[in-house]
């Protein structure tokens, strides 16, 4: 009961609007004894792929014997997913005790949900005596709550348009906010970027040898790719080594995220005088499943859950599925949050030859299904409306054929809610 109540009250902090800035997290961390300074940190920012990249860096370090902490957001079905040490989610009793001890201070400061979660992660990692923590930014970078860390390494994933209200309306302004995590002369490992973003990142580099661009370090080649997994080859350019890996992650664009994770993770191991092992790396990739990323949750008819939520991610994901399943008729169930650029998403989807169903994520920030429907109607695209996500999936599955395909996407809140609901419903045997 203490845990459930604590999580309910922590969720209630979401009533405070997004408030970028380091004042509250600095005060909270000071109160806790600045736990974020007691272990090494690998800090990640970007628009797409940062959660996946963080997860695979974490898995790689753990496979090589390090005690690794991982902080990511948002979660899918359990708040504790955000904070883990090796394979274990944060302890429920720790959450309850942390809230009990710091609740009054947090409410007095009007600290946000993310401030609180970040401080909790910092403290938990210190108490668990981790060797290293892989920390993903929440929104932006420069003023993100995580940006009080002193990273030993910085990782930048591809930059695209998202959260323009907070980060700006150009790639340069968005990149400038993300680049705020570059500091201390720490080595930076950067995914391929559009030139506008790359130019900004290079302006933040203190010395040439600090910046490590993925295309200069490694090349990857996809050998096999399907909706059930992938086999790919990575060549490390410095040593000319070539290694083949398998992963249950299906999307071919995940090969870039994983390659970035391998390059950064291997560099960190070497900085700690630890030998990199191909066998341990392969084990990490086989054992590690980052759920909700083109995840097949049912085979017949095939149902895929995906958390893509901004225009670039949605376009990339749907393009991949159409390439890999050209013979399948595609049905799409989508629900978005209010602050997302739904007009660009609607513009793209209205041109697609697929049946589109609209629903609402389980969030106070949801985009009303009626508003989304109006946008499609203005484009001349007919849609089906099911405000309740569970009813939506049930109705769609009752009408589609066994050789057809359903993709559900648009928000972590939507996918997480459905994972919880259907994992407990044997009628749909999703797992």
User: Which of 3-17, 55-69, 322-336 has the largest mean confidence?
Assistant: 55-69
pLDDT of residue 144: 95
For the chain, give the percent of residues with pLDDT over 70: 95
- Superfamily of chain region 295-423: Mur ligase, C-terminal domain (3.90.190.20)
pLDDT in tens, 282-310: 999 988 778 888 888 888 999 999 998 88
- Is the backbone peptide bond immediately before 301 cis, with ω within 30 degrees of 0? yes
Residue 229 has pLDDT above 60, yes or no: yes
Judged by average pLDDT, the poorest of 106-110, 387-391, 426-430 is: 426-430
Segment 252-271, tens digit of pLDDT: 778 999 999 999 999 999 99
Fold annotation for 2-287? 3.40.1190
State the pLDDT confidence band at 431, using cuts at 50, 70 and 90.
Answer: very low
User: According to the model, what pLDDT value does residue 174 have?
Assistant: 93
Rg (alpha carbons) of the chain, rounded to whole number: 21
Q: What's the rounded Cα separation, in Å, for the pair 122 and 307?
A: 26
User: In sequence order, which residues have a C-beta less than 8 Å from that of residue 27 and are 6 or more positions away?
Assistant: 105, 109
Domain spans in the chain, listed from the N-terminal domain onward: 2-287, 295-423
**Cβ atoms of 136 and 44 closer than 8 Å:** yes
Which residue's entry shows tokens 């922590």?
A: 10
Q: Dmax of the chain from CA atoms? A: 60
Rounded CA separation 39/344 (Å): 42
Among 353, 351, 348, which Cα is nearest to 410's? Answer: 348
Listing DSSP states for 60-78 in one string gives HHHHTT--EEEE-SS-SS-
- The predicted structure's pLDDT at residue 290: 81
Measured torsion, CA atoms of residues 281, 186, 72, 254, in degrees rounded to the nearest 10:
-50
pLDDT tens, residue by residue, 119-172:
999 999 999 999 999 999 998 899 999 999 999 999 999 998 765 566 666 999
Q: Which long-range contacts (CB under 8 A, 24 or more apart) does 161-165 make?
A: 161/47, 161/310, 161/311, 161/312, 161/341, 162/47, 162/310, 162/312, 162/340, 162/341, 163/139, 163/339, 164/341, 165/339
pTM greater than 0.85 (yes/no):
yes
What's the confidence (pLDDT) of residue 149? 98
The per-residue pLDDT for range 410-421, each reduced to its tens digit, is: 998 899 999 888
pLDDT at 1 over 70: no
Rounded average pLDDT over 80-109: 97
Q: Give the mean pLDDT of 367-382.
A: 94
- The model's confidence at residue 363, banded by pLDDT at 50, 70 and 90, is confident
């Amino acid at each position: 009961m203490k845990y459930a109540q604590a999580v309910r009250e922590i969720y209630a902090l979401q009533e405070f609007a997004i408030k970028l800035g380091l004042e509250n997290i600095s005060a909270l961390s000071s109160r806790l004894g600045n736990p974020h300074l007691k272990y090494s940190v690998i800090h990640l920012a970007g628009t797409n792929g940062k959660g996946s990249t963080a997860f695979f860096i974490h898995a790689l370090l753990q496979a090589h014997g390090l005690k690794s902490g991982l902080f990511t957001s948002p979660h899918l079905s359990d708040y504790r997913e955000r904070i883990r040490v090796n394979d274990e989610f944060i302890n429920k009793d720790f959450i309850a005790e942390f809230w009990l001890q710091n609740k009054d201070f947090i409410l007095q400061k009007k600290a946000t949900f993310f401030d609180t979660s970040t401080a909790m992660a910092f403290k938990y990692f210190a108490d668990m005596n981790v060797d290293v923590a892989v920390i993903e930014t929440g929104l932006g970078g420069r003023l993100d709550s995580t940006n009080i860390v002193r990273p030993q390494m910085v990782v930048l994933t591809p930059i695209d348009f998202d959260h323009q209200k907070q980060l700006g309306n150009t790639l340069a302004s968005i990149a400038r906010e993300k680049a705020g995590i570059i500091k201390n002369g720490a080595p930076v490992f950067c995914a391929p970027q559009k030139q506008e973003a790359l130019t900004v990142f290079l302006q933040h580099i203190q010395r040439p040898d600090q910046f490590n661009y993925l295309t200069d370090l490694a090349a990857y080649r996809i050998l096999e790719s399907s909706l059930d997994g992938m086999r790919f080859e990575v060549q490390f350019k410095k040593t000319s080594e070539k290694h083949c890996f398998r992963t249950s992650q299906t999307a071919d664009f995940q090969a870039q995220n994983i390659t970035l994770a391998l390059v950064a993770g291997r560099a960190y191991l070497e900085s700690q005088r630890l030998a990199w092992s191909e066998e341990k790396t392969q084990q990490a990739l086989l054992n590690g499943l980052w759920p909700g990323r083109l995840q097949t949750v049912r085979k017949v008819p095939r149902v895929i859950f995906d958390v893509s939520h901004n225009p670039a991610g949605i376009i990339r994901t749907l393009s991949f599925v159409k390439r890999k399943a050209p013979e399948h008729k595609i049905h799409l169930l989508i629900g978005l949050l209010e602050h997302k650029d739904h007009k660009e998403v609607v513009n793209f989807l209205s041109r697609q030859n697929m049946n589109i169903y609209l629903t609402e994520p389980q969030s106070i920030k949801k985009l009303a299904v009626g508003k989304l429907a109006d946008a499609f109607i203005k484009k001349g695209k007919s849609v089906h409306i099911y405000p309740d996500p569970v009813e939506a999936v049930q109705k769609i599955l009752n009408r589609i054929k066994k050789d057809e395909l359903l993709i559900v996407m648009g928000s972590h809140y939507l996918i997480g809610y459905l994972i919880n609901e259907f994992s407990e419903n044997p009628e749909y045997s999703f797992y």
